[in-house]
Homo-oligomer: A and B are copies of this chain.
Amino acid sequence: MTVTSGETHPSKDHKMLYITQFVNGQRVQETYLVRKINVGKTKAGKDYWNVVLSDSTGTIDGKIWNPAEPSIGNFDELDYIAVSGDIQEYKGELQMIIHSASKVDPSMVDQADYMPSTKKNINRMFGEVLELVNSVTTPYFKELLLSFYDDPFLATEFQKHSAAKTVHHSFVGGLLEHTLSVTKLCDHFAQHYHNLNRDLLVTAALLHDAGKIFELNDFPANDYTDEGQLLGHIYIGAHLVENHCDKIEGFPVVRKNELIHCILAHHGELEFGSPKKPALAEAIALSFADNLDAKMETFFEAATSHAVDGNYYHWIGFNKFLDSNIRKTSPEGFEGMIKT
């Protein structure tokens, strides 16, 4: 929602009206993010605009029948606009007939209202990442990690980025949340299997998806960059980390190669885009942690988005990433009930 006052710019204590709250017949005055603009023609041959509006909860089609009217200001895709409109049902879907629209400065809105975001606290998670960095005792690894987390650009992007365009962790803070989870799993693996080199494994885990900062745009776009599509986050990250290593005095070459190997091999299989299969125990452990976290998050996101009616344990259907039909486990006390 916008953080300034005015007719179309609600005051700070104004409660944001989210798109999923709309009902048929409602009149709406609120600020939304413009995802797409298409120009159509009415049967009478007049231009009209179809505008996809979004916030963090979803999207809605908006119609501007008279784009030339003075109440309709100039705006473009990925702008925020304050709109006044009416909600109507059309062919079973709600849409908004937009009467007025004016561009709002991004600084005036709380972007969290417009982008799906991690449910966890970003500052607290980043604090946990820094604690893990500090727990690394090998000097050259710690220096390498600090060269990332002390870099203002990288540190900021690392906290804001999603970890994917669609699949799992595709929200603000997703890269941070996924990286922290994978690193904590790796930390545990290093306790469970004493033969693992903890500092190598934790460093590789913290940096394994660094290339995603350049593979995906920032929100709100959150789409693949040209570089990302051509090169992929595995190469981008390995290349970036290797160049960081080369600036650190005394970084052993053998250890650098082991670290870069872990990053290159973290997808586990050639057909998943790793140019090398894991050859080191740490590379195997990292690929398991990464894959497990992706699968668990995918599962729980699918299960959450499918929750209906207090019925917690129906079949969710086929999940492409998990390559299986999935179902929630029945909760305690409900073992006798099942809806198939």
Contacts and interface: CB of A to CB of B under 8 A. Distances in A.
Interface of A: 24-25, 40-41, 43, 45, 88-89, 92, 138, 181, 184-185, 188-189, 192-193, 195, 197, 200, 217, 223-227, 229-232, 234-235, 238-239, 242-243, 252-255, 257-258, 260-261, 264, 270-282, 284-285, 288, 291-292, 295-296, 299-300, 303, 313, 315, 322-330, 332, 335-338, 340
Contact of A295 (B272, B284, B329): B284
Nearest to A334: B254
Nearest to A90: B43
Nearest to A43: B89
A200 B313 CA distance: 15
A270 to B, nearest CB: 5
A235 B232 contact: no
A309 to B, nearest CB: 13
A40 B92 contact: yes
Nearest to A227: B257
Contacts of A330: 252, 254-255, 258
A123 B186 CA distance: 29
A271 B277 CA distance: 10
B281 A296 contact: yes
23 contacts: A41-B89, A181-B192, A188-B192, A193-B296, A227-B257, A230-B280, A230-B327, A232-B275, A234-B275, A239-B239, A253-B335, A254-B335, A254-B337, A264-B275, A270-B272, A274-B275, A277-B325, A278-B322, A279-B326, A284-B292, A284-B296, A285-B292, A288-B292
A325 B229 contact: yes
Given A225-B340, A255-B330, A277-B323, 14 more contacts: A25-B45, A189-B292, A227-B253, A229-B340, A230-B280, A231-B264, A235-B238, A235-B276, A238-B239, A243-B243, A278-B324, A280-B328, A281-B328, A282-B329
A188 B189 CA distance: 10
A254 B25 CA distance: 44
A290 B278 CA distance: 18
B243 A340 contact: no
B181 A279 contact: no
Contacts of A257: 226-227, 230-231
A261 B230 contact: yes
Nearest to A335: B252
Contacts of A332: 138, 197
A273 B273 contact: no
A229 B41 contact: no
